[in-house]
Chain A
């Protein structure tokens, strides 16, 4: 009998609450969930004022100290090599289509299909192809190389090359550490990303403290401790099942006390549909903010994720105001095209990419290199 109640109750709830919503709308139209970009810019300028030199992407200047993480140049080369390896087929297919004598409707459809296969999504794929088609028409170009160049420009434009992709990891002027929170759904590689990021920052000569606020998954804290000890970063953890917000608070507190540069807070994976867990995440952030500003909230997205990635990003952005995306598992066959849709929709830039299980397989994201690799350069 309960189901009857659920349905009736929902109906009534929708009727009563929905009505209130509708009534409110014409008057004080509330803004849609806080758009990420303006807030982010705020942080940037604020930091610029405080810390002088803002956020030179730390990953760019890796000076190996503890476990000799390879220099960033090597990373980018590897990014290209790895992407080329996994995405060659995609690039080839594009090239095959583009090098035909006549670009007929079928060819364009095929091009669209190729983009869809990269998880770009139906709507963005169509838009890219339509734009490209118009440009080709206007320019009257038939040369595959030229069309390819246009496609590259088009894809780069979709990814948004001028977004600020720097990570804010400079400690604040008042001596408080920069705080980075890592969030995402289950199994995308949050803990691994925390570990790798900590490593990169240590390599960069910063002192790092890791907060294991994933108190839910069995042995998650142990996993982080393993990462931490490898690079000599301290890890703050709580007992399993304890309140993640308190662990995060403790981590930041200890970070302030010991005067580290960066505190990285790992959180438990949670599906964006679980309100309770999302509320908990909001609480973690609020609690941390009692002591220090949260400089970066990084959403970890798995490159294999399909169209659901967009919903994930949207909901996480609403709850904790995501400032950047880490695209992991790009070393597989997945193309991670969902990034295009996510950036388009939310304006949140991809800041880092994960390229494998190795401890140094984390690199800064560069739109041009990414697109080059997609196109099989």
Chain B
């Protein structure tokens, strides 16, 4: 697991923390780190080089900011620049003046064109159009069946006169589909084509022929977020071969950092129009440049985390939790167990923690956390009686021993879990106190001590700036007393400094929205 860019830059600048200005050597040292970060995010090398030049240029001329230290200043420049490139011109689908609007999909094999065709169809249908799917992938075995099934799922008509599996002429199918659409009153035609390689002259010619046959209003280049350095070559080959007007980034639900987005945008100048984030037909969205920038830089992705959570959590549970938090009611082990199960639905715990900004410093620890350990914790709690779960204080020596035997762990582990749980409980109460009266000194002032100063701080309404601020805060080296007390003294820093700070901060910031 790689460190985040901000962590790296923080190391670079640790010696110059007091300096409020970027010198030439600072910029160069930073540039190197940015280069590595971008390369690890799979941004293509030529793009990285140009990008770094631009950043250097901007950094040199940058006004000395009083509010940010050099590291933050550079990260901000990089982030702004990224967003500018990625989002320069976002636009909507161009509809044809006379129906049908024709949309053609092109890309390498296995990038998800056929699936995307289904998603697009569903999307257009939801927008009130009558889309038609055209099966022009006659190459891959059973691609035609796949699109038929997808069409059925999306409730959309499919034009598939040829059986596929290498039989039939895709150009002819494409040509006839337009008339078919016109006759059947479809106002959007989505032409799915076979996956092809940029170097395959014959197939590229075929794609160009399909293009000439249907004269699409939009050609979308479908690219996989996991693609590496080859993105540049491929994008260029498709641009030369068929040309495209927009880009769709697929498989964004993985953990690839998606540097390809930057490469393709930079090389071709074509906007990224959609992002596809899952296997279901509804996992499809317009592209958010700011989130992508944060993702490429690995700055933590609170927003994505939240979205995932909103999808996975059932509203009843969430509402119950909320009332529990808000009322400051006691947090029991039962609640904890429930919460843990909810969170596990979101994905591997390491990934989730990784999405919190500023977790870079504890990547090692995150990597150590194993799903099995969570199982163990669950086993311990499940070995308790309902009474014990709601009254953890009642856990005396003999009860602990029984639980340890029941769950197959040592008594020490049960004890540690309980101690830790009490700390968590304390934290919860502190948060509940702070949340109850936002903006005012909490009633449990002593407990929230560490969190307090944060509240006064101005919070940016802009999520990415806030993410940046989150980082700033993680640099506070001292452990807040609430948390510090709960950790074994010999192991400082196993929770990152200011670990819950950004959370609290976000709590406040989001709450006010």
Contact = CB atoms under 8 A, between A and B. Distances in A.
A20 B486 CA distance: 12
B373 interface: yes
Contacts of A305: 226-228
A189 B5 CA distance: 33
Interface string A207-220: 00000000011111
Interface in A18-38: 18-25, 30
A6 B256 CA distance: 23
Nearest to B150: A218
Given A23-B416, A308-B256, A18 B427 contact: no
A162 B319 CA distance: 58
A271 B224 CA distance: 12
B420 A118 contact: no
A333 B260 CA distance: 15
A16 B421 contact: yes
A272 B254 contact: yes
Interface residues of B, number: 107
A141 interface: no
Given A8-B325, A332-B199, A333-B233, A18 B369 contact: yes
A302 interface: yes
Interface of A: 1-25, 30, 85-86, 113, 116-119, 121-122, 185-189, 192, 195, 216-220, 222-223, 226-227, 240, 271-276, 302-309, 311-312, 315, 329, 331-335, 337-338, 357
A306 B141 CA distance: 27
Contacts of B370: 21, 30
Given A23-B413, A304-B224, A305-B228, A9 B108 contact: no
Cβ-closest 9 pairs across A and B = A306-B228, A187-B110, A306-B42, A218-B149, A308-B256, A219-B145, A334-B230, A219-B146, A3-B306
B365 interface: yes
Contact of B309 (A3, A216, A219, A335): A3
Contacts of B11: none
B112 A308 contact: no
Contacts of B424: 12, 15-16
Contact of A7 (B237, B257, B349, B507): B507
Q: At the interface, is chain B mostly helix, strand, loop or mixed?
A: helix
Nearest to A338: B228
A11 B229 contact: no
A16 B229 contact: no
Contacts of B503: 7-8, 10-11
24 contacts: A5-B322, A7-B306, A9-B339, A12-B424, A13-B343, A15-B420, A15-B483, A17-B340, A18-B495, A23-B488, A116-B229, A187-B110, A271-B251, A271-B253, A304-B226, A306-B42, A306-B229, A307-B42, A308-B256, A329-B110, A329-B197, A333-B233, A337-B228, A357-B139
Contacts of A121: 40
Contact of B109 (A19, A187, A273): A187
B510 A3 contact: yes
Contact of A308 (B42, B110, B488): B42
Nearest to B308: A6
Given A18-B369, A275-B348, A305-B228, A6 B374 contact: no
B322 A2 contact: yes
B479 interface: no
A273 B252 CA distance: 11
Contact of B279 (A24, A216, A223, A302): A216
B420 to A, nearest CB: 4
A329 B321 contact: no
Most buried by B among A2, A16, A24, A334: A16
Given A187-B110, A223-B142, 19 more contacts: A6-B305, A7-B305, A8-B503, A16-B377, A17-B377, A23-B416, A117-B44, A119-B230, A187-B224, A217-B146, A222-B145, A226-B141, A302-B226, A303-B230, A307-B257, A308-B226, A329-B109, A331-B199, A332-B198
B109 A357 contact: yes
Interface stretch (B52-60, B350-358, B394-402, B439-447): B350-358
Contacts of B306: 2-3, 6-7
Contacts of B237: 333
A359 to B, nearest CB: 10
B264 interface: no
Nearest to B381: A16
Interface string B484-511: 0011100100110001100100110011
B431 interface: yes
B255 interface: yes
Contacts of A3: 302, 305-306, 309-310, 506, 510
Nearest to A190: B110
B230 A187 contact: no
Interface string B190-214: 0000000111000000000000000
Nearest to B494: A22
B129 interface: no
Contacts of A302: 110, 224, 226
B353 A14 contact: yes
Contacts of B353: 10, 14
A313 to B, nearest CB: 12
A373 to B, nearest CB: 15
Nearest to A16: B420
Contact of A4 (B139, B487, B510): B510
Contacts of B450: none
B412 interface: yes
Given A12-B336, A273-B351, A306 B322 contact: no
A307 B254 contact: no
Given A4-B507, A20-B377, A185 B45 contact: no
